[in-house]
Amino acid sequence: MFDIVNDFQVLMDARRVLVQGFYKSYDPSRLWQENKDIAKSRRHILGEGRHFRSYLIPRQGEGLDLAMNVAKLSFLERGPGERKSWLEACKGLMKVTHPLLPPFEVLEGDNDALLFVMPYCEVPLSIDELKTSPITTRMESLKRLLTEQGLIMDDYWQLRRCRGHEFITDFSDLKRSSVDFNQTTCIKSGRLR
């Protein structure tokens, strides 16, 4: 039988090591310089989605390699209200601790530049791996936790491995829920009239 409590504790211990490695490499001034190098075509793109382009930033010293996700014009043009809402949702997510959530930082710069920085996760999970009991249990526990915090991921979850640890890697469709959790709880229990 799968022991979620023990699993959670073991994964949180492993996550702490990765958080330390992330912050050993995290240097905002270096990242902004890397962003300028990207604009000058000195960096090769790792991947591209609807909202961000991803670049590998090699680690410094004992830290981790970083994934620097640069917002595309289409994301930046969603409107100031949507952008502000996404940034607020990211701030809310930073307060949540869960094994599937990587350490990350969001940097806002001149001319609406926006960087989402997290550890580089090299290996995507296969469809079969995503269906295993430990992964589905962790995903369900995170969904509940996000709901309690008034957050939703309005897209399918992309999971990759960073040094053997699974993390969600795409937060471009993170949103604040329009439903109040306490009200939802009351409705489900029949206490709301």
7-33: pLDDT as tens digits: 889 999 999 999 999 999 999 999 999
> In the beta sheet, which residues pair with residue 108?
114
pLDDT for residue 179: 55
41-73: pLDDT as tens digits: 777 788 998 899 999 999 988 899 999 999 998
pLDDT for residue 191: 34
pLDDT for residue 193: 25
Mean pLDDT of the chain: 87
Q: How far apart are CA 164 and CA 8, in angstroms?
A: 15
- Are 87 and 116 in contact by the 8 Å Cβ rule? The answer is no
Residue 99 identity:
P
pLDDT for residue 186: 33
- Are 53 and 69 in contact by the 8 Å Cβ rule? The answer is yes
Dump the DSSP string for 29-86.
HHHHHHHHHHHTT-S-EEEE-SSEEEEEE---TTS--EEEEEEPHHHHTT-HHHHHHH
Does pLDDT of 2 surpass 90?
no
Percent of the chain with pLDDT over 70: 91
Q: How far apart are CA 152 and CA 149, in angstroms?
A: 9
Does pLDDT of 4 surpass 80?
no
Does pLDDT of 147 surpass 90?
yes
134-144: pLDDT as tens digits: 999 999 999 99
Lowest-confidence segment of 3-12, 36-45, 70-79, 168-177 by average pLDDT: 36-45
Which domains are assigned to the chain?
7-186 (3.30.200.20)
Mean pLDDT over residues 91-109, rounded? 96
Distance of CA 186 to the CA centre of its chain: 30
What burial class does residue 176 get, using C-beta atoms within 10 Å of its C-beta: 0-12 exposed, 13-18 middle, 19+ buried? middle
